[in-house]
Chain A
Amino acid sequence: MNFVWRRAAAIARKEWFHIRRDPFTLALALVLPPVMVVVYGLVIDFNIKDVRLSVSDGDRSQTSRRLIETFGSSDYFRIQPVASPGAAVQDVTAERAKAALVIPPRFEKDLLAGRGAQAQVLIDGADNSTVGPVSDYVAAIQTLASERIAGGIGSSAGAGRTDFLTAGAGADLTPPYELRTRYLFNPELNSRWFVIPGLTVVIMAILSIFLTALTVAREWENGSMEMLLSTPVEPVEIIVGKAAPYAALGAVSVGFVYVIARAAFGVPFQGHLWVFGLGCILFLFTYLAQGLLISVVTRQQTIAMQFSMLTGMLPSNMLSGFVFPIASMPTFFWYFTMLFPARWFMVIARNSFLVGSSLAQLAGPFAALGVSCAVMTTLAVRRFKRTLE
């Protein structure tokens, strides 16, 4: 097998004409990723605010009002008063509220008697993306409300309400130690710093697979493949020639995304540009090769499309560690996800933006990415050869 650059370049030029003739694809490849990063950068936020909270106040005392006030003034909750506990539950069931607070009639009396006043909080457990944050907020508000109400009663001590304080129930809420948490690399836990580098990976993965998955299949369907095969061009040259223009498109659009992430969203970039760039190139070629492999194997655009959805879009969204943590998956998946290059590039991208390790420290992910790139390209070329025979 002899690889002639000139022939590969000719294929690349021909493919480039294809792309240029089709401004729709060109626009999508160049404009779509930056637009998506902007939109999702604006939209995606894990710190939810204004959670609708239906409140049934069965006590109607000063204390219960203060508790509700604590919820309402926290920015996290928006209070919707309802008449009865049943109505509060009904609100959660009917999606009119994400959580409900039910204060029993003897709330203040229990508090003053030092028994500890108990209110019930009901959280909508049908919505996976809000249960976690809402329960965190509730825990935070419990502390806050305890301090406030204890303090409030303390200040009105003259009104003969000291018994609860002297009972020691809320006198000193500070624990005997102090836990100081330092969040490294993203001290303010900014969701965007977390999401945007990940989004880069997901968008690049899907785009590169989709761009190439149909190219070879299309030639088979149109019959132009037969013609291509009668020329002296080698399979490797076809694969490289077909992938190169799309790789260039992908690289340009990564550039756009990078600029937007830095300029519009202020995501830091701690790493080395060339490390990130190397990762990008390996990653792009892996997925372009995967797209070509799909195209070579299926030979039919309809099926190629379904395959790219199944092997490109879903895993890079779900199994790359983009949102759903890989460490939490069962052991089998810990190994299974290693098959997806998106998982490795996710590590490289997040690290380059937020941590900034050297190439040597990222050797693992890079090696994995290099291997999958080599495997995908070889497979694509091999399969291509076999279809010729």
Chain B
Amino acid sequence: MNRTLLGFIKKELIQALRDPRMKFILFVTPIVQMTLFGVAISNEVKNIRLAAVFDSKDYVLRDVYERAIQGGWFVPAQATGATAADPFGLIRADKADAVLVPPPGGFTRALGRGDARLQLLVDATNVLQAQSVEGYIRQIVQETLRTDLGIAPPQPPILFDVRVLFNPSLDTSIFMVPGVMTMLMILTTLVLTCIAIVREKELGTFEMMISAPVSKSEVIFGKTLPYVLIGMTNLPLILGVAVFVFHVPMRGSFLALIGATLAFVCSTVAMGTLISTFCKNQQQSSMGTFLFMFPAIMFSGLMFPVENMPRSLRWMAALDPMAHYLSLLRNIMLKAGDLRALAPHIAILIALAVVSGIVSFRRFHTTLQ
């Protein structure tokens, strides 16, 4: 590596880290966020406010209700029992998420008559929650009938032994942590690179650099390599939180993880550089990175399943570096990294880095003239 480039990198690092607030943002907030989001977010549905309409004689329904509350998925709604006279009103007024309504005369008597129709009203404004509620309730009613009345549902002739591989106890943080890691990694690298370059343009210091005896590649590498470095130093920080705080397993090889991260960071830094070539001032660059980041998060597979995107839009997910890095993290950390599965993702990340690198190299040339 030549001396000019080294000097350049040094200058950029000093400039980026000069502000203590920036140091805080770069090295402390990822740890804090990792912890916060790792604890908070999950796809699991819990604490559903359940109400049930039952009188004192309807002991089966009362048992169903109590079992539901004890089970942990449900919490009692403010109004329940006989007071829940208006089940629709309860849901409409947002006092309950689900209400169990027995047939006239009560569920217990209806069971005796043999035409027990239990109605479950679910607030479906939250589709995800609504989907889970029915399954939960069905299971709870079945268990209650078995213990209260000795009615065992007939054993279905075909049984499935369902196992969730790699996370058998359905630990939420194991599900979510790789996604959060991906998001934090892209936040620092892409945004920072883009704005650092645009700032020089806006302040006019870029002109000065052109007049200095440095080549174009030295300018570009000098401007971008420091952010690759900064991105890489984030890895041990957030990996530490993942492994030591959340006990996410690290089953694969550490070397593969470093390689994957390097490919990812290079691709995001290159894409940040590419975005910067389209922006004249920092406000534009902030909008530009937002324009990139928002779809990148959406298509990453963290929030929504990317499985069944329309074919015409699937290329968007294929070009999303976050989606590939998330797959890589899941693969390396949870599945112990089959190299053949890793290779395509790493290849795409490298391709993204190279292509956006070349394009921004070209565009750099023209914008400076």
Contacts and interface: CB of A to CB of B under 8 A. Distances in A.
A94 B302 contact: no
A306 B25 contact: yes
B163 A194 contact: no
Interface string B136-175: 0110011001000001011111111111111110100011
A318 B176 CA distance: 11
B304 A306 contact: no
Given A98-B307, A121-B160, A143-B156, A354 B125 contact: yes
Interface residues of B, number: 123
A184 B124 contact: yes
A258 B56 CA distance: 48
Given A186-B125, A302-B22, A309-B187, A121 B282 contact: no
A4 interface: no
Interface string A296-326: 0010111101111110011001110011110
A177 B116 contact: yes
A180 B47 contact: no
Contacts of B158: 67, 111, 116-119, 142, 145-146, 149
B129 A120 contact: no
A130 B305 contact: yes
B322 interface: no
Given A176-B151, A329-B41, A355-B125, A132 B157 contact: no
B163 A123 contact: yes
Contacts of B340: 94
A138 B162 contact: yes
Contacts, number: 362
Interface residues of A, number: 123
Interface in A161-217: 164, 168-173, 175-187, 189-191, 193-194, 203, 206-207, 210, 213-215
Contact of A173 (B46, B141, B145, B156): B156
B255 interface: no
Q: Which 10 A-B pairs have the closest CB atoms?
A: A128-B175, A125-B167, A183-B124, A170-B157, A177-B116, A146-B156, A186-B124, A125-B164, A94-B341, A194-B127
Given A48-B307, A183-B124, A302-B282, 8 more contacts: A22-B281, A42-B313, A93-B336, A124-B166, A146-B156, A173-B154, A213-B286, A329-B42
7 contacts: A94-B338, A129-B303, A170-B155, A306-B22, A313-B293, A318-B37, A327-B49
